C-alpha cells in the first residue's frame, strides 16, 4: 500500500466501512424484508388514515385471494360459516312460514262451525292468533330422547332423555344409527353424499339434524311440526359454536365438553300437551294470567293517575312562578320535560320541583332565556342592579322599592342617579337610608369634642399643649376635608379664656391673643378664616387669686346642614 492509499484509509476508513455495510444490507433481500416488516404495520395505518388509496390498491389482490381460498378449501369455509349462516337461513324460512301461516289463518277464520267458534273464543282469551291456536290443538308430540353423535368416528358424545323413557345402552343406539347411516350411503348414494334425516318407528319418529362434525338425533313421540327442526338446528349450531374444536377432535373424553348435557337437555323442552291436560293447565294459567294482567293494569293505572296528578301540580307551580312561560310539559317515564321560556332571575327548576313535591332529578327543562316584565322579576332585576350592601333592607310597598338602613355616600349617589334616570323600571324610596359616611363623620366629630389648651402666662402656651394643639388641629383638618367631600357645612368656634386677675381691658386683649394662637394653627392646616368664629370668655368675678385652669383657649367643631341629607328624600 502506497502512502496515498494509506492516507485515504486513515482519513475515510470509518466512512468506507459504513458505506460497505449499507451496500451489503441493501443487496441482501432477507435483510430488506426484515426492515420492511418492522415499518409495514405503521405504514399501512398511516396510509389508511390519509385516504382511501390503500383500500383501492388492496381491493383486487385481497378479493382474488378470498376467491381462490373459497375454491380450494370450500369445506373449511363452510364449517366456519355454519354457526352464522344457519340462523340467517332459518330467519328467512321462518318469515316465509309466517306469511303462509297468515294465509291459512285467514282461511280458517272463515269457519263458522261450533268447534271453530269455541276455538276462536279460546284463542282470544289466550291472546294468540286463531291459526296458531288451531295448530296447538291439532299437533301433539314430545321429544323423548336426544343423542349427539360424532360424524367422524360414530362415538356417542352426549345423551339426554326423560325419566320415563330411559334405555339401557345408549352407546349401542349410537353405534346402530351410525351403521345405518353408512349403509344408506353405500347402498343408495353412489357419491356417499346421502344421509338419513327422518325415520318412522311405530308411535315414534326419528329425526337427525346434521352438522359439520356432529349430528343430533332426536326420538319423538307423536307428530312433530316442521318448525321443530329449525329449533333443533339452532341447538346443534350452538353446540358447534361453544365446543367447535372439542367436537371436531372428540375421541371419547366428555371432560372436554363439561356443559354438553345441559345443551342436550334443551331438546327435551319441546312438546305439545294432550287436549285434556292443556285445558287443565289452561284454566290454571288463565287464572294466573288474569290475576297478573289485573295487577299490572291496576299498577299501571295507579301510576298513570299519580303521574297525572304530579304533572298537574308541577304545571300549577310553574304557572305561579314569575319569570317562567311554559309551552309544553311532556312525561318520559318518571321524568317531566319542561319546554318554554325562563328569565335568568326566575327560580331554578330544582326549587320549582321541590315546591311541586318532586325530586330535582325528575324535572328537566329546555328553557330559552328571555326578559320578563312581571313585577316580581322587575323588582329582582332592579335589586340585582343596585347591589345593595348588607346594611340595606329592601322592601316592597305599594309598587315601590323602599330602602332602609345605611350605605356609603358613593352608593347613594349612584342609586340616586339610577332612580332619577328611571332605568331600574321601579320607583325607589331612599328616605329611610342614611349615609354611613355622614354618620361616621358625626361620630368622629363627637369624639374630637371641645378641646382646651392651657397657657402658662400671657399668650405663652405650655409645651405639652403646643404638641396637643398641633395634633388636634391636624385631626380637625382631616375631618373637615371629609365634611367638604360629603357637602357638609361646618363652623369652628375658637374661644380665648382668662381668669379675673387684671383689668377687663387687659383680659379682653389677652383672650383675643390666646384665640389668635389657635386660629393661626388652624390656618396653617388650610382652614379658611370664613369658617372660624372667634370669641372671648373672661371670668366675671372680682379680683381674686389667679386661676391657672382658666388661662386657656378652647376649639369646638359644629356640623351644620348637609347636602347629602337632600338625597335621603323620596325619589
The pLDDT tens digits for 209-265 are 888 888 888 888 877 888 888 888 888 888 888 888 888 888 888 788 888 888 888
DSSP 8-state class, residue 193: -
DSSP 8-state class, residue 243: S
Q: Of the CATH numbers 3.40.1620, 3.40.50, 1.10.357, 3.30.70, which one belongs to the domain with range 375-436? A: 3.30.70
User: Given a cut of 80, is residue 401 above it in pLDDT?
Assistant: yes
CB atoms within 10 A of CB 507: 21
- Lowest-confidence pick of 120-129, 147-156, 208-217, 551-560: 120-129
DSSP 8-state class, residue 110: T
d(CA 195, CA 370): 79
Q: Give the model's pLDDT for residue 558.
A: 85
* Backbone torsions φ then ψ of 148, nearest 5 degrees: -115, 115
> Exposed, middle or buried: residue 361 (CB in 10 Å: 0-12, 13-18, 19+)?
exposed
CATH 3.30.1330.60 domain extents, the chain = 449-568
What nine digits make up the cell of 77? 369455509
Question: Which residue, 479, 488, 382, 385, is CA-closest to 435?
Answer: 488
Do the Cβ atoms of 569 and 419 come closer than 8 Å?
no
Q: Give the model's pLDDT for residue 568.
A: 43
**In the block, residue with C-alpha cell 351644620:** 560
What nine digits make up the cell of 416? 340616586
Query: Taking the C-alpha atoms of 454, 455, 459 and 460 in order, what is their torsion angle to the nearest 10 degrees?
Result: -120
CATH 3.30.300 domain extents, the chain = 302-369
What nine digits make up the cell of 297? 293494569
User: Given a cut of 80, is residue 446 above it in pLDDT?
Assistant: yes
**In the block, residue with C-alpha cell 330535582:** 360
Would you say how long the chain is, in residues? 571
Q: What's the average model confidence in pLDDT over 411-426?
A: 79
Helices (H), 320-395: 349-355, 375-386
Q: Give the model's pLDDT for residue 134.
A: 63
Beta-bridge partners for 437: none
CATH 3.40.800.10 fits 80-276, yes or no: no
* Backbone torsions φ then ψ of 321, nearest 5 degrees: -95, 115
Q: What's the average model confidence in pLDDT over 93-118?
A: 56
d(CA 304, CA 49): 53
Positions of E strands within 398-461: 400-407, 427-435, 451-457, 460-461
d(CA 47, CA 258): 47
Question: Which residue, 123, 171, 121, is CA-closest to 150?
Answer: 171
**pLDDT tens digit string along 477-514?**
888 888 887 778 888 889 998 887 777 888 888 888 88
The helix (run of H) or strand (run of E) holding residue 283 is: helix 275-319
Q: What's the average model confidence in pLDDT over 420-438?
A: 79
Q: What's the average model confidence in pLDDT over 63-76?
A: 75
pTM across the whole model: 0.37
Question: Which residue, 348, 308, 351, 349, is CA-closest to 331?
Answer: 308
Q: What's the average model confidence in pLDDT over 119-132?
A: 72
Please state, rounded to an integer, the average pLDDT across all residues of the chain.
78
Q: What's the average model confidence in pLDDT over 528-553?
A: 78
- Lowest-confidence pick of 33-47, 78-92, 435-449, 519-533: 78-92
What nine digits make up the cell of 561? 346642614
Q: What's the average model confidence in pLDDT over 420-444?
A: 80
Q: Give me the CATH code for the 449-568 domain, please.
A: 3.30.1330.60
**pLDDT tens digit string along 372-400?**
888 888 888 888 888 888 888 888 887 78
* Backbone torsions φ then ψ of 79, nearest 5 degrees: -65, -35
348: CB partners within 8 A, 6+ apart: none
- CA-CA-CA-CA torsion sign (561, 439, 521, 484): negative
Q: Give the model's pLDDT for residue 105.
A: 54
Q: Give the model's pLDDT for residue 166.
A: 59
CB atoms within 10 A of CB 153: 10
Q: Give the model's pLDDT for residue 448.
A: 81
DSSP 8-state class, residue 73: -
Question: Which residue, 321, 313, 324, 322, is CA-closest to 357?
Answer: 313
Q: What's the average model confidence in pLDDT over 68-89?
A: 67
Positions of E strands within 440-480: 451-457, 460-461
**In the block, residue with C-alpha cell 307423536:** 222
CB atoms within 10 A of CB 150: 20
Q: Give the model's pLDDT for residue 561.
A: 60
What are the C-alpha distances in Å from 492 to residues 154, 300, 441, 450, 559?
128, 88, 15, 10, 9
d(CA 121, CA 139): 19
Q: What's the average model confidence in pLDDT over 40-59?
A: 77
User: Given a cut of 60, is residue 457 above it in pLDDT?
Assistant: yes
Per-residue confidence at 570, pLDDT binned at 50, 70, 90?
A: very low
CATH 3.30.70 domain extents, the chain = 375-436
User: Given a cut of 60, is residue 107 above it in pLDDT?
Assistant: no
Q: Give the model's pLDDT for residue 341.
A: 92
Report the interhelical angle of 504-524 vs 463-485 (nearest 10°): 60
Do the Cβ atoms of 243 and 256 come closer than 8 Å?
yes
Q: Give the model's pLDDT for residue 569.
A: 39
Beta-bridge partners for 212: none
Percent of the chain with pLDDT strictly greater than 90? 3
79: CB partners within 8 A, 6+ apart: 212, 213
373: CB partners within 8 A, 6+ apart: none
- Lowest-confidence pick of 65-69, 274-278, 303-307: 274-278
Beta-bridge partners for 219: 145, 206
Question: Which residue, 470, 460, 452, 448, is CA-closest to 550?
Answer: 452
Higher pLDDT, 175 or 150: 150
d(CA 353, CA 314): 7
* Backbone torsions φ then ψ of 546, nearest 5 degrees: -55, 145
**pLDDT tens digit string along 319-335?**
989 989 888 888 888 88
Per-residue confidence at 434, pLDDT binned at 50, 70, 90?
A: confident
Per-residue confidence at 1, pLDDT binned at 50, 70, 90?
A: low
CATH 3.30.450.70 domain extents, the chain = 80-276
Q: Give me the CATH code for the 302-369 domain, please.
A: 3.30.300
d(CA 411, CA 539): 50
Q: Which long-range contacts (CB under 8 A, 24 or more apart) does 566-571 make?
A: 567/412, 567/413, 567/416, 567/430, 567/435, 568/412, 568/430, 568/431, 568/432, 568/433, 568/434, 568/435, 569/430, 569/431, 570/429, 570/430, 570/431, 571/416, 571/419, 571/420, 571/427, 571/428, 571/429, 571/430
Amino acid at each position: 500500500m502506497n502512502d496515498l492509499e494509506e492516507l485515504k484509509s486513515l482519513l475515510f476508513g470509518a466512512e468506507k466501512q459504513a458505506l460497505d455495510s449499507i451496500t451489503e444490507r441493501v443487496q441482501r433481500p432477507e435483510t430488506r424484508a426484515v426492515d420492511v416488516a418492522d415499518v409495514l404495520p405503521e405504514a399501512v395505518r398511516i396510509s389508511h388514515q390519509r385516504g382511501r388509496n390503500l383500500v383501492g390498491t388492496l381491493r383486487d389482490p385481497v378479493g382474488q385471494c378470498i376467491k381462490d381460498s373459497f375454491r380450494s378449501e370450500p369445506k373449511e369455509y363452510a364449517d366456519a360459516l355454519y354457526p352464522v349462516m344457519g340462523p340467517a337461513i332459518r330467519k328467512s324460512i321462518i318469515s316465509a312460514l309466517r306469511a303462509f301461516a297468515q294465509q291459512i289463518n285467514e282461511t280458517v277464520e272463515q269457519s263458522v262451525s261450533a268447534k271453530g267458534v269455541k276455538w276462536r273464543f279460546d284463542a282470544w282469551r289466550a291472546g294468540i292468533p286463531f291459526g296458531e291456536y288451531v295448530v296447538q290443538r291439532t299437533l301433539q308430540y314430545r321429544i323423548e330422547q336426544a343423542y349427539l353423535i360424532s360424524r367422524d368416528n360414530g362415538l356417542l358424545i352426549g345423551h339426554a332423555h326423560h325419566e320415563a323413557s330411559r334405555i339401557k345402552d345408549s352407546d349401542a343406539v349410537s353405534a346402530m344409527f351410525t351403521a345405518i347411516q353408512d349403509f344408506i350411503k353405500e347402498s343408495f348414494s353412489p357419491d356417499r353424499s346421502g344421509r338419513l334425516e327422518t325415520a318412522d318407528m311405530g308411535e315414534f319418529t326419528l329425526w337427525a339434524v346434521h352438522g359439520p362434525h356432529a349430528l343430533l338425533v332426536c326420538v319423538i313421540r307423536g307428530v312433530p311440526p316442521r318448525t321443530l327442526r329449525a329449533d333443533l338446528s339452532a341447538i346443534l349450531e350452538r353446540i358447534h359454536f361453544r365446543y367447535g374444536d372439542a367436537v371436531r377432535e372428540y375421541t371419547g373424553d366428555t371432560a372436554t365438553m363439561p356443559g354438553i348435557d345441559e345443551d342436550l337437555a334443551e331438546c327435551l323442552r319441546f312438546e305439545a300437551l294432550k287436549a285434556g291436560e292443556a285445558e287443565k293447565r289452561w284454566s290454571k294459567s288463565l287464572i294466573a294470567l288474569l290475576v297478573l294482567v289485573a295487577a299490572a293494569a291496576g299498577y299501571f293505572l295507579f301510576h298513570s293517575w299519580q303521574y297525572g296528578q304530579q304533572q298537574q301540580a308541577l304545571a300549577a307551580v310553574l304557572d305561579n312562578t314569575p319569570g317562567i312561560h311554559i309551552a309544553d310539559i311532556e312525561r318520559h317515564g318518571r321524568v317531566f320535560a319542561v319546554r318554554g321560556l325562563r328569565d335568568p332571575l326566575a327560580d331554578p327548576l330544582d326549587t320549582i320541583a321541590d315546591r311541586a313535591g318532586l325530586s330535582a332529578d325528575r324535572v328537566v327543562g329546555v328553557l330559552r332565556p328571555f326578559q320578563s316584565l312581571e313585577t316580581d322579576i322587575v323588582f329582582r332585576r332592579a335589586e340585582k342592579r343596585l347591589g345593595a350592601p348588607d346594611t340595606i333592607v329592601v322592601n316592597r310597598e305599594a309598587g315601590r322599592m323602599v330602602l332602609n338602613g345605611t350605605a356609603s355616600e358613593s352608593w347613594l349617589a349612584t342609586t340616586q342617579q339610577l332612580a332619577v334616570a328611571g332605568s331600574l323600571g321601579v320607583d325607589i324610596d331612599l328616605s329611610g337610608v342614611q349615609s354611613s359616611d355622614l354618620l361616621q363623620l358625626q361620630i368622629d366629630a363627637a369624639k374630637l369634642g371641645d378641646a382646651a389648651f392651657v397657657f402658662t402666662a400671657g399668650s405663652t402656651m405650655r409645651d405639652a399643649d403646643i404638641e396637643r394643639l398641633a395634633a388636634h388641629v391636624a385631626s380637625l383638618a382631616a375631618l373637615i376635608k371629609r365634611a367638604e367631600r360629603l357637602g357638609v357645612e361646618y363652623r369652628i368656634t375658637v374661644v380665648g379664656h382668662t381668669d379675673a386677675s387684671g383689668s377687663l381691658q387687659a383680659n379682653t386683649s389677652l383672650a383675643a391673643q390666646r384665640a389668635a394662637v389657635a386660629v393661626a394653627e388652624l390656618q396653617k392646616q388650610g382652614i379658611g378664616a370664613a369658617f372660624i368664629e372667634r370669641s372671648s370668655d373672661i371670668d366675671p368675678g372680682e379680683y381674686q387669686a389667679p386661676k391657672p385652669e382658666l388661662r386657656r383657649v378652647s376649639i369646638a367643631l359644629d356640623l351644620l346642614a348637609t347636602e347629602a341629607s337632600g338625597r335621603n328624600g323620596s325619589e
